[in-house]
Amino acid sequence: SYADATRVLARLEGVPESDIEPLVAAKYNHLVCAQVYGSEGNQEKDDQMDELLMTFPHMSIVTAHFEDEDESTIPEHGIARPEGVRWYMTHRRAAFDARGAPIGIVSSHRIRLPGHAIVGEGKPENQNLGMALATGMYVQTIDMNQDAHLAEALKLRNVLAQFVGNTRLVGFPEQMITDRSGSV
């Protein structure tokens, strides 16, 4: 992973071992944008995602999900009217006690979306939702079907060093592998 690449580079540059993990924690926030988390019928996958959150404390999950709201009240008139389905973006992360032991999953943000969250292909929209909660100077999006090799991570620092000034968006090609088409 890119965090591993940062550890390797820090050691090569002589950064004291006690300073490496705080450096990595400050540089990386792993944000997973998942379509399946919190959906009905996916309890096994939800449990697996919860286990990941508890295992990796710097990871969090952003997901779009719907809630069926049968009726709501119009504030001006006090009249109940059918509202239907509303879509929300929710940010979840593991909560820890004072000793650092995991105690459960908490929802830190819940934002109502203007409409259906999965438009078009769905994957790019998940990443767009996650951008609202991404922190740090650089953001890198990686598809789950994209190979993330250590060698590619080592290149990132050198590539970013080529941009001077106030660069806002940098794109890199990705290798996509699908079960139907093979390598695209």
* 145-174 pLDDT tens trace: 555 555 665 666 666 666 666 666 666 555
Instruction: Please check the confidence at residue 93 and state whether its pLDDT lies above 70.
Output: yes
Alpha helices, DSSP H, located in 104-148: 123-131
Q: How much is the pLDDT for 12?
A: 93
Closest CA to 24 of 153, 164, 155: 153
Q: How much is the pLDDT for 81?
A: 45
* 106-150 pLDDT tens trace: 888 888 887 776 665 555 676 777 777 777 666 666 665 555 555
Provide the mean pLDDT of the chain: 70
To the nearest 10°, report the CA torsion of 107, 168, 29, 19.
-140
- The neighbour count for residue 5, using CB atoms within 10 Å, is 19
> What are the residues facing 82 on neighbouring strands?
71
Instruction: Please check the confidence at residue 100 and state whether its pLDDT lies above 80.
Output: no
Beta strands in the chain (DSSP E): 30-34, 59-74, 79-96, 102-112, 177-178, 182-183
